[in-house]
């Protein structure tokens, strides 16, 4: 019952934010994700990700993420995850500010082809600040095979990002962003995958106008 109410709430908030998009400042971005994971045993795996995000309306590098993660499967349906990310933001003519992120999550199925991930994230070690920002990030995702082999898959997802406290590095309590995405995942052999996609992101900026981002993404994967 809680999960269904949560999904209903996410859907309602997404519709409200979508209605704001026409009033928002609009930008275009490109995101490239390189990811690899390694199975340690039947229930445990580790992963590494490099994420490169462009600056708005530019092909210049805007942000760089280096993320390490660990996942433990409780059973065939439910998994727990823990990750650390080092994030640097490119600043023209100045030193690049850095932040660190820890995230803890749980993933589980909701209904046929639909899964949910609930994540808590702490942002700390931000350049020039001693504050710790806490964020709540629920995501709902629909996955559907496009062929009988299962090597071609359509994914639709929606993620909301809530800030749970105020910080001196600019985080303000409340709904921070909504990310709605569509992607097609291709298996390339037994160990590799490629996933092009589009993400619409609405960002509520503290002290500034709402930003409406149109993001073209490409993910390259390796699995062992």
pTM of the model: 0.87
What DSSP string runs through 15-31?
Answer: HHHHHHGGGSEEEEEEE
Residue % of the chain over a pLDDT of 90: 81
The residues near 58 (Cβ < 8 Å, ≥ 6 apart) are: none
d(CA 185, CA 117): 19
Q: What is the pLDDT of residues 169-186, one digit of tens each?
A: 989 999 999 999 999 999
What is the rounded CA–CA span in Å between residue 197 and residue 67? 20
Q: Give the pLDDT confidence of 18-48 residue by residue, as tens digits.
A: 555 455 689 999 999 999 999 999 999 999 9
Question: What domains are there in the chain, each with its CATH number?
Answer: 2-223 (2.40.160)
The per-residue pLDDT for range 96-116, each reduced to its tens digit, is 899 999 999 999 999 999 999
Structure-token match 């092009």, residue found: 196
Does position 2 have pLDDT exceeding 60, yes or no?
no
Query: What DSSP designation does 139 have?
Result: E
């Amino acid at each position: 019952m809680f999960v269904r109410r949560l999904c209903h709430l996410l859907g309602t908030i997404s519709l409200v934010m979508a209605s704001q998009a026409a009033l928002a400042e609009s930008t275009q971005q490109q995101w490239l994700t390189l990811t690899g994971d390694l199975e340690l045993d039947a229930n445990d795996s580790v992963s590494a990700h490099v994420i490169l995000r462009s600056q708005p309306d530019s092909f210049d590098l805007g942000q760089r993420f280096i993320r390490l993660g660990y996942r433990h499967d409780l059973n065939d349906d439910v998994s727990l995850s823990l990750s650390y990310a080092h994030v640097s933001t490119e600043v023209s003519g100045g030193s690049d500010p850095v932040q660190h992120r820890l995230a803890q999550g749980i993933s589980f199925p909701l209904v046929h082809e639909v899964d949910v991930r609930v994540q808590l994230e702490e942002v700390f070690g931000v350049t020039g600040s001693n504050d710790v920002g806490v964020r709540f990030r629920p995501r709902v995702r629909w996955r559907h095979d496009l062929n009988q082999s299962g090597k071609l898959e359509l994914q639709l997802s929606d993620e909301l990002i809530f800030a749970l406290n105020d910080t001196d590095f600019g985080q303000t309590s409340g709904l921070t962003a909504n990310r709605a995405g569509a992607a097609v995942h291709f298996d390339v052999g037994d160990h590799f995958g490629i996933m092009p996609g589009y993400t619409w992101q609405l960002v509520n900026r503290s002290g500034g106008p709402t930003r409406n981002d149109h993001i073209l993404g490409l993910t390259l994967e390796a699995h062992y």
